[in-house]
């Protein structure tokens, strides 16, 4: 019997969000060499957002962060992406790139990590 492993699904990390579209925004995702699954933490860079990679040692994040709502493929071009950016509750167990600095930054933007 073949076993199939299902990857991240759109919004799977989301426990609750504000009414309407208040919690979401459309962003520009910078070119990426690897695909980014739904639930990936992204951080604002000069011309758009990119997946967060924690420095060693971990330091506080001073830029805006968000969480990808959908899976995004690797691309040599920028691409539009929907993100959760405020007023939501998320499941920290299924976020990609979560650490103490990210949790603090998300909290400051009104996103509660459970």
Q: What is the pLDDT along the chain (114 residues), one digit of tens a residue?
A: 788 777 777 778 888 998 888 999 999 999 999 999 999 999 999 899 999 998 878 888 889 999 999 999 999 999 999 999 999 999 999 999 999 999 999 999 999 999
Distance set, CA 40 to CA 3, 57, 97 (Å): 25, 20, 6
- Give the model's pLDDT for residue 69: 95
Could you give the CA distance from residue 11 to residue 71 in angstroms, rounded to a whole number? Answer: 9
Architecture of domain 14-113: Beta Barrel (2.40)
- Give the model's pLDDT for residue 40: 96
- Give the model's pLDDT for residue 101: 93
- Can you give the residue ranges of every domain in the chain? 14-113
42, 17 in Cβ contact below 8 A? Answer: no
Residue 35 CB coordination number (10 Å): 13
Q: Which residues 6+ apart lie within 8 Å of 11 measured at CB?
A: 38, 69, 70
- Give the model's pLDDT for residue 7: 72
- Give the model's pLDDT for residue 21: 84
């Amino acid at each position: 019997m073949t076993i199939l492993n299902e990857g991240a699904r759109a919004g799977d990390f989301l426990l609750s969000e504000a009414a309407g579209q208040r919690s979401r925004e459309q962003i520009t995702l910078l070119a990426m060499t690897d695909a980014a699954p739904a639930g990936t933490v992204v951080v604002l860079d000069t011309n758009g957002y990119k997946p967060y990679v924690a420095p060693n040692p971990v330091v506080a994040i001073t830029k805006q962060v968000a969480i990808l709502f959908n899976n995004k493929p690797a691309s040599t071009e920028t691409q539009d992406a929907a993100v959760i950016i405020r007023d939501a509750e998320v499941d920290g167990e299924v976020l990609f790139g979560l650490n103490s600095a990210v949790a603090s930054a998300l909290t400051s933007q009104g996103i509660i990590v459970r």
